Amino acid sequence: MRIDVISIFPDYLAALDLSLIGKARAAGLLDLAVHDLRDFTTDRHRTVDDTPYGGGAGMVMKPEPWAQALTAVLDVGPDADADDAPLSEDAVPGSGVAADRPVLVIPSPAGEVFRQATAHELAEADHLVFACGRYEGIDERVAEWAADRFAVRPLSIGDYVLNGGEVATLAMIEAIVRLIPGVIGNPGSLTEESHADGLLEYPMYTKPASWRGRDVPDVLLSGDHGRIARWRREEQLARTAARRPDLLPPVC
């Protein structure tokens, strides 16, 4: 997979050199590049923003640096050698991700919510581009212009406001990259974690069996795998009902 990130604060993305993502890059499973949007400006002050038409607080990101940057990443990405045939319909039916079309993620609190299912969907793409906006966002015409070249996905990581798309991009890239085959050593950990089956994960314990007067539940020491599996399922349901009732199917 190829990932390009465009930002006016490329240093925010330095964490992508670390840990699991850094290892995936070293192993050749991920080709990731971060670009400074200001490198695609042409004026002396490297201007990326301007006042909003219609008035209001804050600044809006100018469209032209974005068009230049997005064109540049198309020219270096895995799509660069593709013929110029019109972009086809979805190659992965129902996924919204065409195998031959790069995906442009626009992080925004006004986007569709990014979920584990979104991470699985985007993990199938050959080329992801993240356009990190700052200020009040990017001129709306950029997304329209980009729709001829990319599958455009405005995505939010939750119902709160961040100062820009960089932190949301880090979260989304981590969620996506760990799903690429070979990135996680033990694939079993992908099927047992929270959200894998639509429920929160059951509680986990390790040694010692008794710690500061608190004992590990007996069932986990029983060696009875059937009983353990049933207990874990009940804990998942109880925890999900208590913390995230919105995830449970409606009761008729």
Residue type, 122: L
Per DSSP, which regions of the chain are E strands?
Answer: 2-7, 31-36, 49-50, 60-61, 103-113, 127-131, 151-156, 210-211, 214-215
Which token pair is 138? 């990017």
Which token pair is 208? 């010692």
Q: Long-range pairs for 207-210 at CB < 8 Å and ≥24 separation?
A: none
CA nearest neighbour of 242 among 203, 213, 215: 203
Q: Which residues are annotated as a binding site?
A: 133, 157-162
Cβ proximity to ligand 6GU: between 79 and 166 the closer is 166
Q: Which residues in this chain contact ligand 6GU in the complex, by CB under 6 A?
A: 107-109, 111, 155-158, 160-162, 164-165, 168
CB 159 → ligand 6GU: shortest distance, Å? 7
Residue type, 25: R
Cβ proximity to ligand 6GU: between 98 and 170 the closer is 170
CB 26 → ligand 6GU: shortest distance, Å? 28
CB 167 → ligand 6GU: shortest distance, Å? 8
CB 60 → ligand 6GU: shortest distance, Å? 14
Answer for the pair 75, 81: CB distance below 8 angstroms, yes or no.
no
Cβ proximity to ligand 6GU: between 163 and 210 the closer is 163
Half-sphere exposure of 104 (CA within 13 A, CB side): 23
Residue type, 105: V
Which token pair is 76? 């270096």
Cβ proximity to ligand 6GU: between 106 and 199 the closer is 106
Q: Which residues are annotated as a binding site for S-adenosyl-L-methionine?
A: 133, 157-162
CB 203 → ligand 6GU: shortest distance, Å? 28
